[in-house]
């Protein structure tokens, strides 16, 4: 078994884990991140929902139930976390639009409006109501985007189909990074003589340089252009993950990819190391503190059996609504499913409550009482709690010295 | 107005079987079904073509019928019957006396039953519980109930039968005390149809009394709900039953890529208001787990319930009520056919049509047991090569259904219902249970302009609500993860409106 030593080990490569990692690395700590693989952020729209149940996200947060983990983070930190995110993403060439004072809308692939707070600049031009006319450009053979859904819901909306020669979202996106392809696309677009106010395309405009690509189309066509997020695989989610990952590495963080944690070493009130499973041999990674950002069920932080719900890394006590009968409401759309409240309860220092560990800090979807879908607070909560966890962890590490 | 000789109400196995029988005897008929084919108990059973073994002890008459029909269906329906064979396994503690009665029962009925050592049984089904004492091999088979209905209907269609699905009977028209026709509403357009005929057959299973009451008649029945679960894996290639008195959770049936396990037995009042209870699911899984231990940790993709329309009986334990069938002549031109089971649907149809022929003094005899089911040559079964032929156009990754398949069904049936596409292509039958591909199927319908946006949103909402009813009882482990992702896709990414 090989042994490596760090100040902090982060478990989980989502927005919460990568942000905490970057913050701690910036403070000079030696940080490593272990992950089983791509995070659920890759499946997301890339939008930062802070609290979508009110026009103003901050008012929305104030109205959340008292047990919601957003209340563990003060308003100043929430603002700071979003500013920090926008600065990071600008730095990585993937600027985000929006403000914490007011939520905005993104057009969904069903033609409905999705409410969010910060959105990739490629979605900035999305209409905020039904007045603007739209011309949708879609791609031949693409199976997760059907312009019919949108065209039939909006007046003065039309669509055209471009044959990219490839048919999956990922391959079309990578074609967009090619200059010749882009030129061919623009020549074709030119011939359409688009009359509508705005141009929309499914979110396939490039892998990393989407912001530039969408901008170029807008400049060349002389009209606002925006992307419509698709169901997974989702390019904007992948771009978000790639940008945060690069930033974390740029700040000196190490990433252990596809290394699931299979065990822990403990002494007294401290976790000493996590054992990870990698090719050929187990690896023990020692650290003075640990950040748990493994997400909920989809992310792999929690596992449900017929009888119980468990936390997968440290076996922390999981807060659940009750026996299996209480996990799901009769009405699918009510969003009052007890399972949405499952997770780990933390104290104000983001340490797990009701457990002896002094050096574990939690952030993101693994927290209890989040009800992420109901409250529309996924990535926003991840960023805010990442700042709170990084702050507590840094204080702990400084005192310990 | 449509005029015909015989009106059949109900598109389950019995109704479809009657349509085929009438067609082969040259009698004009019209079948009316309120949902899709096999929407009631036919489609909500475990898809077992009984050898008769299960009833050899408790109901020799039903057992005999089952075995005879088993032989017939294996002959005439090769493409919808999988000749898996079945094992009745005896676990430690299971009565040895029952084994003796079972073997004796099989012998009396004439069902071939071979006693196998546990070693021999493992050779056949390696996933069996290593603790089993022995197994008895019988010719149980697995049958696809939906395909069975479609193939029976095919004969009727080829010979001029009139078929209406998604038509709900609202009225039975009477004149001088006799039933002379029905009124039905087309559930997709809201238009009314009037159909006149000389005879009306009520083959509506659990709904038989509701339909009979439209004619002022009555059908005494006991409605018994049975629940089942579906696994994501085919854990056995043979039907596995427990060698004991019929009771909850005693059967596992392989079907295509999955297994179905059940059942339970609980009396219910209203066939339209049934739900699965949590303890039922736990019972089925732990009982199935005693026969095949992998059941305890394999992924369950869905649970569902069906209602058995059994003949009225005083027996308290519904497992004990006869699985035999009865034809009731209401003496007003209406006949009801109730009871029975999927395995004996053809025999039920034969007896029903014989009764009508007798009342009209017609002589033509039944041919349904001799002639193979029509349309089987078009069935693909599950050949992977065929499904992978058009890889880049696959819209349902779980079941490898292509855009072309979906478009063909939409054109053929002019359906506005995702369920119709699911039944005919297996779209959405896999682990994600339509989470990804329903958005695509409706998108294709949108592109083909067969539905409006309001309709597509409504269809999507109904689909998700209905789908949830089945999967919410299987939500733990990976199925829960998948479900949370699907919920995020529809309510998060696609920002589906909750309601208008």
> Which alpha helices (DSSP H) does B41-179 contain, by range?
60-76, 96-109, 118-124, 145-158
Residue of B297, B451, B480 to mutate for A, most A C-beta atoms under 10 A: B480
Query: CATH number for the domain including B340?
Result: 3.50.50.60
Say yes or no for a CB contact (<8 Å) between B494 and A335: no
Residues of A with Cβ-Cβ distance to B440 under 8 angstroms: 143-144, 146
Look up residue B89 and give its two tokens.
Answer: 């396994």
Residues of B with Cβ-Cβ distance to A297 under 8 angstroms: 480-481, 484
C-alpha distance from residue B25 to each of A130, A390, B5, B198, B353 (Å)? 60, 81, 12, 16, 9
Q: Are residues B114 and B156 in the same domain?
A: no
| Partner B contacted by A141 (CB < 8 A) | yes
Residue of A108, A297, A371, A374 to mutate for B, most B C-beta atoms under 10 A: A297
- Measured distance CA(B262)–CA(B480) in Å, rounded: 21
Q: Are residues B486 and B412 in the same domain?
A: yes
Closest residue by Cα to residue A286 from A309, A308, A311, A264: A264
| Partner B contacted by A282 (CB < 8 A) | no
Q: What is the DSSP letter of A180?
A: H
**Of residues A229, A231, A339, nearest to B439 (C-beta):** A231
- Measured distance CA(B28)–CA(B19) in Å, rounded: 9
Residues spanned by the domain of B16 = 2-41+146-220+323-360
Closest residue by Cα to residue A234 from A210, A258, A212: A210
Question: By CA distance, what is B449's nearest residue in A?
Answer: A148
Q: According to the model, what pLDDT value does residue B130 have?
A: 95
Closest residue by Cα to residue B328 from B317, B338, B315: B338
Q: Is A218 exposed, middle or buried (0-12, 13-18, 19+ CB in 10 A)?
A: middle
Residues of B with Cβ-Cβ distance to A45 under 8 angstroms: 492-493
* A301 vs B400, higher pLDDT: A301
Is residue B331 in a domain?
A: yes
Q: Are residues B329 and B300 in the same domain?
A: no
* Contact between residue B15 and residue B9 where contact means Cβ atoms under 8 Å apart: yes
Is residue B317 in a domain?
A: no
CA angle B125, B128, B131 (to 5 degrees): 135
Residue of A38, A113, A114, A149 to mutate for B, most B C-beta atoms under 10 A: A149
Say yes or no for a CB contact (<8 Å) between B452 and A327: no
Is residue B499 in a domain?
A: no
| Residue A250 in this model has a pLDDT that exceeds 60 | yes
Return the SS3 of B498. Answer: coil
Please identify every stretch of chain B with a pLDDT value under 50, giving residue numbers as ranges: 500
Q: Are residues B275 and B340 in the same domain?
A: no
| Partner B contacted by A38 (CB < 8 A) | no
Look up residue A372 and give its two tokens.
Answer: 């992420």
Number of Cβ atoms within 10 Å of the Cβ of A377: 28
C-alpha distance from residue A175 to each of A93, A191, B282 (Å)? 19, 20, 50
What percent of chain B lies above the pLDDT cut of 90?
Answer: 72
Q: Are residues B29 and B161 in the same domain?
A: yes
**Of residues A146, A167, A229, nearest to B443 (C-beta):** A146
Look up residue A32 and give its two tokens.
Answer: 């490593």
| Residue A120 in this model has a pLDDT that exceeds 60 | yes
Residue A90 zone, left/alpha/beta (φ > 0; ψ -120 to 50; rest): alpha
Q: According to the model, what pLDDT value does residue A159 have?
A: 94
* Cα of A151 to nearest chain B Cα, Å: 9
Look up residue B55 and give its two tokens.
Answer: 């009833």
Question: By CA distance, what is A49's nearest residue in B?
Answer: B492
A360-362/B114-117 β-pairing: unpaired
Is residue B164 in a domain?
A: yes
Residues in contact with B103: Cβ distance below 8 Å, sequence separation at least 6, in sequence order: B113, B115, B136
Q: According to the model, what pLDDT value does residue B500 have?
A: 46
C-alpha distance from residue B166 to each of B73, B191, B379, B391 (Å)? 28, 11, 24, 33
Q: Are residues B386 and B485 in the same domain?
A: yes
* B275 vs A302, higher pLDDT: A302
How do the domains of chain A map onto residue ranges?
2-94+238-400, 126-223
C-alpha distance from residue A151 to each of A109, B117, B384, B442, B462 (Å)? 10, 66, 36, 14, 22
Between A and B, how many residue pairs show a Cβ–Cβ distance under 8 A?
117
Instruction: Find the helix or strand (DSSP H, E) in which B95 lies.
Output: none
Q: Are residues B129 and B170 in the same domain?
A: no
* Contact between residue A328 and residue A339 where contact means Cβ atoms under 8 Å apart: yes
| Partner B contacted by A140 (CB < 8 A) | no
Is residue B127 in a domain?
A: yes
Residues of B with Cβ-Cβ distance to A376 under 8 angstroms: 492
Look up residue A235 and give its two tokens.
Answer: 């390019």
Q: According to the model, what pLDDT value does residue A299 have?
A: 95
- Measured distance CA(B133)–CA(B263) in Å, rounded: 23
Residues in contact with B183: Cβ distance below 8 Å, sequence separation at least 6, in sequence order: B169, B170, B171, B173, B192, B193, B194, B195
| Partner A contacted by B495 (CB < 8 A) | yes
* Contact between residue A281 and residue A2 where contact means Cβ atoms under 8 Å apart: yes
* Contact between residue B13 and residue B205 where contact means Cβ atoms under 8 Å apart: no
**Of residues B444, B477, B494, nearest to A305 (C-beta):** B477
Q: Please give the span between the terminal C-alpha atoms of chain B, in angstroms, as a whole number.
A: 37
Q: Are residues B21 and B124 in the same domain?
A: no
Residues of B with Cβ-Cβ distance to A329 under 8 angstroms: none
| Partner B contacted by A45 (CB < 8 A) | yes
Beta-strand ranges (E) seen in A258-331 are 261-267, 270-277, 282-292, 302-304, 309-311
Is residue B371 in a domain?
A: no
Residues of A with Cβ-Cβ distance to B457 under 8 angstroms: 110
Domain count, chain B: 3
Query: CATH number for the domain including B125?
Result: 3.30.9.10
Q: Are residues B417 and B277 in the same domain?
A: no
Q: Are residues B135 and B238 in the same domain?
A: yes
**Of residues B468, B484, B496, nearest to A110 (C-beta):** B496
* Cα of B402 to nearest chain A Cα, Å: 10
Number of Cβ atoms within 10 Å of the Cβ of B107: 12
Q: Are residues B94 and B152 in the same domain?
A: no
**Of residues A300, A304, A306, nearest to B282 (C-beta):** A306
Q: Are residues B154 and B247 in the same domain?
A: no
- Measured distance CA(A370)–CA(A114) in Å, rounded: 19
Say yes or no for a CB contact (<8 Å) between A232 and B475: no
Closest residue by Cα to residue A229 from A298, A150, A291: A150
For the entire predicted model, the pTM comes to 0.91
Domain A126-223 CATH class label? alpha beta
Closest residue by Cα to residue A48 from A237, A246, A210, A296: A237
CATH 3.40.50.620 is the classification of domain A2-94+238-400:
no
Residues of B with Cβ-Cβ distance to A304 under 8 angstroms: 475-477, 480
């Amino acid at each position: 078994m090989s042994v490596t030593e760090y100040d902090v080990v982060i478990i989980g490569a989502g927005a919460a884990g990568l942000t905490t990692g970057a913050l701690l690395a910036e403070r000079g700590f030696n940080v490593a991140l272990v992950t089983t693989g791509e995070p659920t952020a890759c499946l997301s729209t890339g939008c930062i929902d802070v609290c979508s149940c009110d026009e103003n996200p901050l008012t929305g947060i104030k109205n959340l139930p008292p047990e919601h983990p957003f209340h563990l983070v003060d308003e100043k930190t929430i603002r700071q976390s979003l500013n920090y995110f926008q600065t990071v993403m600008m730095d990585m060439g993937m600027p985000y639009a929006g403000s914490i004072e007011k939520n905005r809308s993104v057009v969904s692939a069903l033609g409905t409006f999705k409410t969010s707070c910060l959105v990739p600049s490629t979605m900035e031009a999305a209409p905020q109501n039904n007045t603007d006319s739209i011309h949708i450009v879609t791609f031949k053979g693409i199976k997760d985007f059907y312009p019919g859904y949108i065209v039939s819901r909006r007046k003065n909306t039309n669509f055209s189909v471009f044959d990219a020669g490839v048919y999956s979202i990922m391959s079309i996106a990578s074609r967009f990074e090619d200059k010749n392809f882009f030129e061919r696309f623009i020549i074709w677009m030119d011939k359409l003589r688009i009359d509508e106010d705005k141009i929309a395309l499914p979110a396939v405009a490039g892998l990393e340089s989407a912001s530039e690509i969408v901008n170029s189309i807008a400049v060349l066509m002389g009209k606002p252009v925006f992307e419509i997020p698709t169901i997974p695989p989702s390019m904007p989610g992948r771009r978000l993950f790639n940008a945060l990952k690069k930033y974390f590495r740029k700040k000196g963080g190490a990433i252990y990819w596809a290394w699931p944690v299979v065990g822990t070493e403990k002494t007294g009130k401290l976790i000493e190391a996590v054992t990870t499973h990698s090719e050929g041999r187990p690896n023990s990674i020692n650290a003075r503190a640990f950040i748990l950002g493994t997400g909920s069920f989809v992310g792999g932080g929690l596992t449900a059996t017929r009888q119980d719900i468990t936390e997968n890394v440290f076996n922390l006590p999981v807060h659940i609504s009750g026996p299996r009968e209480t996990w799901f409401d009769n009405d699918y759309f009510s969003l009052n499913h007890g399972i949405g409240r499952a997770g780990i309860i933390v104290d104000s220092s983001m340490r797990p409550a009701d457990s002896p560990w002094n050096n574990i800090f939690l952030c993101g979807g693994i927290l209890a009482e989040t009800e992420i879908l109901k409250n529309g607070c996924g990535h926003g909560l991840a960023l805010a709690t990442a700042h709170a966890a990084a702050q507590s962890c840094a204080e702990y590490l400084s005192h310990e010295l | 107005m449509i005029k015909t000789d015989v009106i059949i109400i109900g598109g389950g196995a019995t109704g479809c079987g009657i349509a085929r029988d009438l067609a082969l005897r040259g009698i004009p008929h019209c079948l009316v079904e309120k949902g899709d084919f096999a929407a009631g108990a036919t489609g909500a059973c475990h898809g077992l073509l009984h050898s008769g073994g299960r009833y050899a002890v408790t109901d020799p008459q039903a057992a005999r019928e089952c075995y005879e029909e088993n032989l017939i269906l294996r002959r005439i329906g090769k493409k919808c019957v999988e000749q898996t064979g079945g094992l009745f396994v005896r676990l430690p503690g299971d009565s040895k006396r029952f084994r003796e009665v079972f073997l004796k029962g099989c012998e009396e009925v004439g069902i071939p039953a071979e006693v196998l050592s546990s070693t021999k049984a493992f050779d056949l089904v390696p996933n069996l519980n290593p603790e089993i004492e022995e197994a008895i091999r019988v010719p149980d088979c697995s049958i696809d109930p939906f395909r069975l209905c479609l193939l029976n209907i095919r004969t009727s269609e080829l010979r001029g039968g009139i078929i209406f699905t998604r038509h709900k009977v609202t009225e039975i028209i009477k004149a001088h005390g006799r039933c002379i026709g029905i009124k039905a509403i087309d559930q997709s357009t809201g238009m009314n149809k009037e159909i006149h005929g000389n005879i009306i057959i009520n083959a509506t299973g659990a709904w038989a009394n509701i339909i009979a009451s439209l004619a002022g008649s009555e059908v005494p029945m006991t409605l018994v709900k049975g629940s089942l679960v579906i696994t994501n894996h085919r854990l056995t290639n043979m039907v596995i039953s427990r060698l004991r008195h019929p009771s909850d959770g005693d059967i596992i049936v392989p079907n295509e890529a999955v297994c179905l396990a059940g059942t339970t037995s609980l009396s219910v009042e209203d066939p339209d208001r049934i739900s699965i209870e949590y303890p039922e699911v736990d019972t089925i899984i732990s009982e199935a787990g005693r026969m095949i231990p992998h059941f305890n940790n394999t992924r369950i993709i869905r649970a569902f319930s069906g209602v058995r329309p059994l003949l009225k009986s005083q027996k308290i334990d519904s497992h004990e009520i006869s699985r035999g069938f009865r034809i009731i002549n209401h003496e007003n031109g209406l006949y009801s056919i109730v009871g029975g089971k999927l395995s004996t649907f053809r025999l039920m149809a034969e007896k029903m049509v014989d009764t009508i022929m007798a009342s009209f003094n017609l002589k033509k005899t039944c041919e349904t047991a001799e002639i193979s089911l029509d349309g089987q040559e078009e069935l693909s079964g599950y050949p992977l090569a065929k499904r992978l032929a058009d890889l880049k156009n696959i819209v349902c990754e779980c079941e490898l259904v292509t855009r072309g398949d979906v478009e063909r069904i939409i054109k053929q049936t002019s359906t506005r219902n995702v369920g119709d596409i699911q039944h005919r292509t297996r779209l959405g039958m896999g682990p994600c249970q339509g989470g990804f591909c329903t958005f695509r199927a409706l998108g294709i319908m949108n592109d083909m302009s067969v539905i409006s946006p309001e309709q597509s949103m409504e269809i999507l909402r109904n689909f998700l609500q209905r789908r949830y009813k089945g999967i919410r009882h299987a939500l733990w482990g990976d199925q829960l993860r998948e479900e949370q992702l699907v919920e995020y896709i529809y309510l998060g990414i696609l920002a589906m409106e909750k309601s208008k």
